[in-house]
């Protein structure tokens, strides 16, 4: 608590070899600054670093404008905090399992099979129901996936399980957008309009619904990106990239293909 050489109460600290190195680097780089001592998110003390401490021993001197009794009380409290922070947390084994690498390999193979089968069924359904429109929608969906993966690769993103969920969600939104467009065009064709007029009117009437759907999803994605962490942010990034890609493929690319097919006023569409 004190000595003839240092009459004020102080707390002595001794570091392990690893701690000595870390503390030495810390104090060397931050001379003249305060160092907070925190336990359970509460700052208990913030002494000033007067000099580099590289020998493995340090002391925190109490005092200031406080009485000796108050300084002794502060020193005891700080010592208790330092000891509490150094206590090892007990570990209790509840369950232990060993999983071989073959399990992960089997799961990966099954996931690939499920993805390919699901994609085939969706695209086949689109082609059967909407014929030429389904083929165009399938091309747009494939390009959508390609653009999302390319964007993630370009920005150094990773495709974790939440990211895959975001990818699947955006692909579903892209297919849904193409369903809306094809249904609107089909309604115009049934009403007796030419193929070119039906395409223009179909996209005009479908655009607002597609835009509203993607904007609402983007708002949810921004919320997840701002307030989420880790996996949630990965999901949000993939979702937001997918929304931009979906708007591009579902509105621009498919429109370009339809316009190319109906450039002639006598052209017909089979939907």
Query: What are the CA-CA distances from residue 143 to residues 58, 115, 217 (Å)?
Result: 62, 16, 20
25-61 pLDDT, tens digit each:
888 888 888 888 777 777 777 888 888 888 888 888 8
Please, which pLDDT band fits residue 219 given cuts at 50, 70 and 90?
very high
> 4-8, 62-66, 201-205: which has the highest mean pLDDT?
201-205
Q: Which of 5-19, 122-136, 248-262 has the lowest mean pLDDT?
A: 5-19
Identify the CA nearest to 183 among candidates 162, 211, 160, 203. Answer: 203
pTM: 0.57
| pLDDT number for residue 119 | 82
Percentage of residues of the chain with pLDDT beyond 70: 86
CATH of 115-261, one of 3.40.640.10, 3.30.390.50, 1.20.1640.10, 1.10.150.170: 1.20.1640.10
| pLDDT at position 134 over 80 | yes
Please, which pLDDT band fits residue 215 given cuts at 50, 70 and 90?
very high
Topology (CATH level 3) of domain 10-85: Gyrase A; domain 2 (3.30.1360)
Percentage of residues of the chain with pLDDT beyond 90: 6
| pLDDT at position 2 over 50 | no
Considering only residues 238 and 66, tell me which one the structure prediction assigns the higher pLDDT.
238
- Segment 239-267 shows an average pLDDT of 87
**Equal CATH topology for 10-85 and 115-261:** no
Please, which pLDDT band fits residue 94 given cuts at 50, 70 and 90?
low
| pLDDT at position 191 over 60 | yes
Query: What are the CA-CA distances from residue 112 to residues 10, 108, 138, 145 (Å)?
Result: 64, 6, 19, 15
Please, which pLDDT band fits residue 77 given cuts at 50, 70 and 90?
confident
Q: Where are the domains of the chain?
A: 10-85, 115-261
Distance between CA atoms of residues 103 and 100, nearest Å = 6
Mean pLDDT for all residues in the chain:
81
- The greatest distance separating any two alpha carbons of the chain, rounded to the nearest whole angstrom, comes to 106
Go through the chain and tell me how many residues it has. Answer: 271
> 105-119, 133-147, 150-164: which has the highest mean pLDDT?
133-147
**14 is written with which tokens?**
């001794």
């Amino acid at each position: 608590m004190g000595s003839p050489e240092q009459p004020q109460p102080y707390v002595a600290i001794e570091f392990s070899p690893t701690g000595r190195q870390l503390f030495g680097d810390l104090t060397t780089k931050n001379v003249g600054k305060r160092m907070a001592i925190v336990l359970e998110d509460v700052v208990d003390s913030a002494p000033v670093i007067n000099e580099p401490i590289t020998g493995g021993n340090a002391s925190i001197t109490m005092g200031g404008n406080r009485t000796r009794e108050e300084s002794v009380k502060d020193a005891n409290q700080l010592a208790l905090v330092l000891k509490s922070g150094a206590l090892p947390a007990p570990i209790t084994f509840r369950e232990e399992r060993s999983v071989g690498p073959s399990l992960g390999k089997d799961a990966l193979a099954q996931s690939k099979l499920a993805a390919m089968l699901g994609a085939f069924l969706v695209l086949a359904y689109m082609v059967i129901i909407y014929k030429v429109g389904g083929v165009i929608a399938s091309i747009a969906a494939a390009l959508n996936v390609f653009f999302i993966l390319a964007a993630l690769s370009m920005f150094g993103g990773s495709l974790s399980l939440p990211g895959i969920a975001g990818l699947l969600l955006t692909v579903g939104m892209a297919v849904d957008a193409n369903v809306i467009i094809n249904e609107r065009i089909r309604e115009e064709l049934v009403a007796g309009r030419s193929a070119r007029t039906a395409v223009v009117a179909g996209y005009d009437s479908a655009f607002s619904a597609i835009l509203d759907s993607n904007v609402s999803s983007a708002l949810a994605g921004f919320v997840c990106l701002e307030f989420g962490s880790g996996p949630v942010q990965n999901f949000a990034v993939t979702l937001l990239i997918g929304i931009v890609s979906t708007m591009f493929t579902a509105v621009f690319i498919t429109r370009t293909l339809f316009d190319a097919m109906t450039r002639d006023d006598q052209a017909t569409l089979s939907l």
